[in-house]
Amino acid sequence: MSPSIRSSWVEGSSSPGGDFPLQNLPLGVVAAEGRGRRVGVRIGDFVVDVRTLAECGLLERLERRIIDSLAGESLAPFMALGKSAWRAARAEFTRLLSADCGELRDHPKRGDIVLPEWGLSVQLPCEIGDYTDFYASLHHATNVGSMFRPNQPLLPNWKHLPIGYHGRSSSIVPSGTAVVRPCGQTVASDDGPPSFGPTKLLDYEVEVGALIGRGNALGSPIAVASALDHVFGLVLLNDWSARDVQKWEYQPLGPFLAKNFASTLSGWVVSLDALEPFRIPLPARADGDPQPLPYLRGEGDVLFDIQLELLVASAAMRERKMPACRVSLGNYRDMYWSVAQMVAHHTSGGCNLRTGDLLASGTVSGSDPLSRGCLLERTWRGTQPITLSDGSERKFLQDGDEVILRAWCERPGAARIGFGECRGIVLPART
């Protein structure tokens, strides 16, 4: 870490390659025996128990409404307060954890406040309300479209608006939750007839999710220019998919059972303020591409330079204590549609977003094979299998496979900001 970058007294917060320096301070919800669920601030190898921090009188500089909103078992009350409250709390956490501040470092109850992360279970940050999954990567949409519609990979509307569908929030699970292989109808040929059984084409999808903080009133659209003020932070999402089920069911109304059996969410919500050094301008549209309609344009619209790594470890690899094998490495900067445009379009017809709603990017893919964010693309519909480090081949996921999604931001002169992990192991179908 550069000497000019502000440091913390917390162990592990300045480790090279670490995800959680002082400049990050993501919020989440953790559980521990004897404590129940509570809001935590992640730094280095530790988590600050915010409720205990407040009970020890160390948050008295904050407004009472902010302190009270952080005292429960969910981030939702705090998320609903809005940007000024988020920034005030973040500034106070930064002050207390900085190397030059001794209020928390020297407090007699520090051991009850600053807890080792290994003893905690990361939960969902809040109850997820409505969940919308977009289809915002040009490379992903083009690749998948070319498999099924070689003569017209992109439908005429794709470059005019962010395409999305409403998903199922009840099956969003926290990182570490095992995922049962789903059953469904599949067909051997396009015309059927179908049979019912476990999916043979189980896939992952590398995605970035935006959690809504303050919502909007029904009938009151959110402008692109103010859209990010409604976003509490970003998380990682693995939107597990049953490709053979999806192929049979998706017409005419789109994804259904192939997508609603599980979606895994990372536990630590990274604020847009932490990601500020990694904002990049929304690139100009390519020659020949339509310009977005006025309601999808705004000064200062941005993407984020986030590296996204997907790894797979087979059951045999874990038994032999082999490291997980990198399967893809992409970047969120390759997206065609921005978070702000997704928010603006979602509300453009009057839809009201609410605290805890989740908007996901859809699969993040780039221009080269390694950057493709799902096995459907990575193995080109199973025709180009990949080989894991134990020598086994994968066209799609097998029972016992563990899928691990990681992400981080890096640039010279800035602290590395990480998202932690989003992981899950595939269990056999329950037939």
Write down the domain spans for the chain.
27-122, 131-304+332-368
Compute the 3-state secondary structure of the chain and give helix, strand, coil in percent, each to the nearest 5. 20, 25, 50
> Percent of the chain beyond pLDDT 90?
93
Q: Scanning the structure block, which residue is given the tokens 């998706």?
A: 250
Q: What is the pLDDT of residue 4?
A: 58
- Output phi, psi for 172, to 5 deg: -80, 125
What's the alpha-carbon Rg for the chain, to the nearest Å?
A: 22
| pLDDT above 90 for 65 | yes
Residue 253 CA to residue 233 CA, distance in Å, equals: 30
- Please provide the DSSP assignment of 252-274 as one string: TT---TTTSS-EEE-S-BB-TTT
Give me the architecture of the 131-304+332-368 domain, per CATH.
Answer: Alpha-Beta Complex (3.90)
Please, are residues 73 and 36 in contact by the beta-carbon 8 Å criterion?
yes
| pLDDT above 80 for 315 | yes
| pLDDT above 70 for 386 | yes
Parallel, antiparallel, or unpaired for β 402-409 and 307-313?
Answer: antiparallel
Which class is domain 27-122? mainly beta
Average pLDDT estimate for 378-382: 97
Residue 89 CA to residue 428 CA, distance in Å, equals: 44
Average pLDDT estimate for 156-181: 97
Q: What is the pLDDT of residue 3?
A: 45
Q: Catalytic annotation on 140?
A: yes
- The answer for residues whose C-beta is within 8 angstroms of residue 32's C-beta and 6 or more apart is 115, 119, 120, 121
Element (H, E) at 121: strand 121-122
| pLDDT tens digits along 260-285 | 999 999 999 999 999 999 999 998 99
Q: Active site residue: 107, 139, 140, 345, which one?
A: 140
**DSSP conformational letter for 98:** B
| pLDDT tens digits along 291-310 | 999 999 998 899 999 999 99
